[in-house]
Amino acid sequence: MFRSSSFAARNLAKTCSQRRFASTKTVREVLEEVVPKKQLQLKQLKTEHSQAVLGEVKVEHVVGGMRGLKSMLWEASVLDPLEGIRFHGLSIADCQNVLPAAPGGKEIIAESMLWLLLTGKIPTEAETRQLSRQLAEKGELPEYIEKLLDSLPPTLHPMTQLGMGVAALNHESKFQAAYERGIKKNEYWQYALEDSLDLLARLPALAARIYRNVYNPGQPLPKVNKDLDLVGNYANMLGFGDNHDLTEYLRLYIAIHGDHEGGNASAHTSHLVGSTLADPYLSYAAGLYALAGPLHGLANQEVLRWQMQMQKELGDNITHDSIRESLWKTLKSGQVVPGYGHGVLRNPDPRFMALQQFCDTRPSLLQDPIVQLVKKTYEVAPAVLKEHGKTKNPYPNVDAASGCVLYHYGLTQFKYYTVIFGVSRALGCLTQYVWSRALGLPIERPKSLSMDAIEKLIKE
CATH fit for domain 299-408, picks 2.30.30.40, 3.40.1000.10, 1.10.3720.10, 1.10.230.10: 1.10.230.10
Q: Which residues pair with 80 in a beta bridge?
A: 84
Q: Which residues pair with 78 in a beta bridge?
A: 86
Phi/psi at 227 (5° precision): -95, 0
Phi/psi at 85 (5° precision): -75, 140
Query: At 250, which amino acid appears?
Result: L
Question: Sign of the CA dihedral 197, 199, 201, 204?
Answer: negative
pLDDT of the residue at 11: 56
- Give the count of alpha carbons within 13 A of 92, CB side only: 25
Range(s) within the chain of domains with CATH label 1.10.580.10: 135-295+415-438
One digit per residue, pLDDT tens: the chain, 460 residues? Answer: 334 444 455 555 444 444 444 457 999 999 999 999 999 999 999 999 999 999 999 999 999 999 889 999 999 999 999 999 999 999 999 999 999 999 999 999 999 999 999 999 999 999 999 999 999 999 999 999 999 999 999 999 999 999 999 999 999 999 999 999 999 999 999 999 999 999 999 999 999 999 999 999 999 999 999 999 999 999 999 999 999 999 999 999 999 999 999 999 999 999 999 999 999 999 999 999 999 998 898 888 888 999 999 999 998 889 999 999 999 999 999 988 999 988 888 899 999 999 999 999 999 999 999 999 999 999 999 999 999 988 888 999 999 999 999 999 999 999 999 999 999 999 999 999 999 999 999 999 999 999 999 999 999 9
Round to whole Å and give the CA distance between 298 and 393: 20
Q: Which residues pair with 90 in a beta bridge?
A: 87
Q: Which residues make Cβ contacts (< 8 Å) with residue 20, sequence separation at least 6?
A: 122, 124, 125
Does residue 342 sit in helix, strand or coil?
Answer: coil
Find, among 379, 332, 128, the residue nearest to 232 by Cα: 128
Tell me if 113 sits within 8 A of 87, measured CB to CB: yes
Phi/psi at 84 (5° precision): 90, -160
CATH fit for domain 135-295+415-438, picks 1.10.580.10, 1.10.3720.10, 1.10.10.10, 1.10.275.10: 1.10.580.10
Find, among 388, 414, 393, the residue nearest to 307 by Cα: 414
Q: State the DSSP H helix or E strand holding residue 322, giving kind and residue range, or none if neither.
A: helix 320-332
pLDDT of the residue at 78: 97
Find, among 400, 413, 308, the residue nearest to 354 by Cα: 400
Q: Which residues make Cβ contacts (< 8 Å) with residue 93, sequence separation at least 6?
A: 350, 354
Tell me if 151 sits within 8 A of 400, measured CB to CB: no
Phi/psi at 154 (5° precision): -65, -15
> Using the 8-state DSSP alphabet, how is residue 86 labeled?
E
Active site residues: 296, 342, 399
Round to whole Å and give the CA distance between 365 and 386: 29
Helical ranges in 18-56 per DSSP H: 27-49
pLDDT of the residue at 167: 98
Q: State the DSSP H helix or E strand holding residue 230, giving kind and residue range, or none if neither.
A: helix 230-238
Q: Tabulate helix, strand, coil % of the chain (nearest 5).
A: 60, 5, 35
Tell me if 318 sits within 8 A of 311, measured CB to CB: yes
Range(s) within the chain of domains with CATH label 1.10.230.10: 299-408
pTM: 0.92
